[in-house]
Amino acid sequence: MSHDPSAYFMKVDWENLKDDLADYAGTNLKEVAQRINVPYLALNDFLLGKKPLLSMSAVLLVIAAMSREVSRYVTFDTGLLDASAPQSPPENSAEQPDINALVRIDLMARAMKGEQTYGTRLKPFNGRNALVDAYQEAMDLSVYLRQAIAEQELSQKDERQELTFVEYHEEAMSTAIYPQRGKNPYYPVLGLAGEAGEVAEKFKKIIRDTAGDWTEADRNEIAKELGDALWYITAVADEFDMNLTDIAARNLDKLKGRSKRNTLGGSGDDR
């Protein structure tokens, strides 16, 4: 079942259009139909009242043939051009209009909005530099695209911040591939030692190259290495059927006990 998208976005003054078309065509309706490539029967039935409506494309072709302004017959809902307007589609997805048709409607609506703003349609040699205008619009587009990318990144970052130890453990271990997994804690232990060395290596280079002043790029690289170390810590815990939540809770209990005993400083695991 097809649906004319104009039902959602166009309101046509059918009586006015019918009267003007009858005056324009006179007895030459067939010739008009052939010239604008609209079926003669469709136009004839429309004028006779047998068919109350015309398709959107036929309406626009008829108006163009009569050299009349579209705004004389058609009112557009320009909500899609208003950034503050809601842009919800029809509720029934089976009745969603054709996207290409919607673009054509948006273009017509934009043309009408421009005519209302400037008093005329866009025409050649209008005193403006089209290349400069297009370049400025392209810069605006790049800004909006970058905004969308930044918002997407921030949204993903917020989602990552809500990640729990349990979720990380499950997702991280879904990528664990090494010999005799489940019976081989030595592999992730050695990997952990290697990643700890990578973290130390990053700091060594910061001291060597910038006298200990790190940059945001250094910070990101260190975060990557810490993430690799966390993966191996998780793999070691997994080998012993332990989870990060329990390990973290045990560590906090130990630190709270030391704090109560005033033994956070000093040496010895059982102080």
Nearest to 112 by CA among 77, 164, 62: 77
Share of the chain above pLDDT 90, in %: 34
Residue 235 CB contacts under 8 Å (≥ 6 apart), including other chains: 172, 173, 176, 187, 188, 191
In a domain, 218, yes or no: yes
* Residue range(s) defining the domain that contains residue 249: 165-260
Q: Is the pLDDT of residue 3 over 50?
A: no
Which pLDDT score is estimated for 193? 95
How many Å separate Cα 144 from the centre of its chain?
A: 11
CA distances from 210 to 202, 206, 220 (A): 12, 5, 16
CA distances from 103 to 10, 99, 110 (A): 13, 6, 10
Whether 111 and 186 share a structural domain: no
Rg (CA), the chain: 35
- Burial class (CB within 10 angstroms; exposed 0-12, middle 13-18, buried 19+) of 129: exposed
Any bridge partners for residue 76, and if so which?
Answer: 10
Q: Rounded to whole angstroms, how far apart are CA atoms 38 and 61?
A: 8
Contact call for residues 60 and 12 (beta carbons, < 8 A): no
Whether 10 and 121 share a structural domain: yes
In a domain, 148, yes or no: no
* Least confident piece of the model among 28-32, 103-107, 158-162, 204-208: 158-162
Contact call for residues 202 and 225 (beta carbons, < 8 A): yes
Count how many domains the chain has. 2
Whether 91 and 170 share a structural domain: no
Any bridge partners for residue 74, and if so which?
Answer: 12
Q: Rounded to whole angstroms, how far apart are CA atoms 148 and 176?
A: 34
> Amino acid letter at 25?
A
Whether 77 and 18 share a structural domain: yes
Which pLDDT score is estimated for 105? 73
pLDDT greater at residue 109 or residue 3: 109
Nearest to 269 by CA among 250, 242, 244, 243: 250
Whether 32 and 119 share a structural domain: yes
CA distances from 43 to 20, 24, 137, 225, 253 (A): 13, 12, 40, 72, 85
- Burial class (CB within 10 angstroms; exposed 0-12, middle 13-18, buried 19+) of 54: buried
Whether 18 and 123 share a structural domain: yes
In a domain, 84, yes or no: yes
Nearest to 121 by CA among 133, 113, 129: 113
Q: Is the pTM for the entire model greater than 0.85? A: no
Whether 179 and 121 share a structural domain: no
pLDDT tens figures, 216-229:
888 989 999 999 99
In a domain, 81, yes or no: yes
Whether 240 and 177 share a structural domain: yes
Q: Give the CA dihedral 212, 218, 219, 225, nearest 10 degrees.
A: -110
Q: Rounded to whole angstroms, how far apart are CA atoms 160 and 170?
A: 14
CATH of the domain at 198: 1.10.287.1080
Whether 52 and 119 share a structural domain: yes
pLDDT tens figures, 119-138:
877 888 888 898 998 999 99
In a domain, 245, yes or no: yes
Whether 18 and 116 share a structural domain: yes
Contact call for residues 21 and 62 (beta carbons, < 8 A): yes
CATH of the domain at 23: 1.10.260
In a domain, 265, yes or no: no
Q: Rounded to whole angstroms, how far apart are CA atoms 235 and 17?
A: 75
Residue after which a domain boundary falls, among 100, 127, 154: 127
pLDDT band (50, 70, 90) for residue 8: very low
Share of the chain above pLDDT 70, in %: 86
In a domain, 270, yes or no: no
Which pLDDT score is estimated for 246? 92
In a domain, 140, yes or no: no
Residue after which a domain boundary falls, among 127, 154, 179: 127
- Which residue is listed with tokens 């453990």? 169
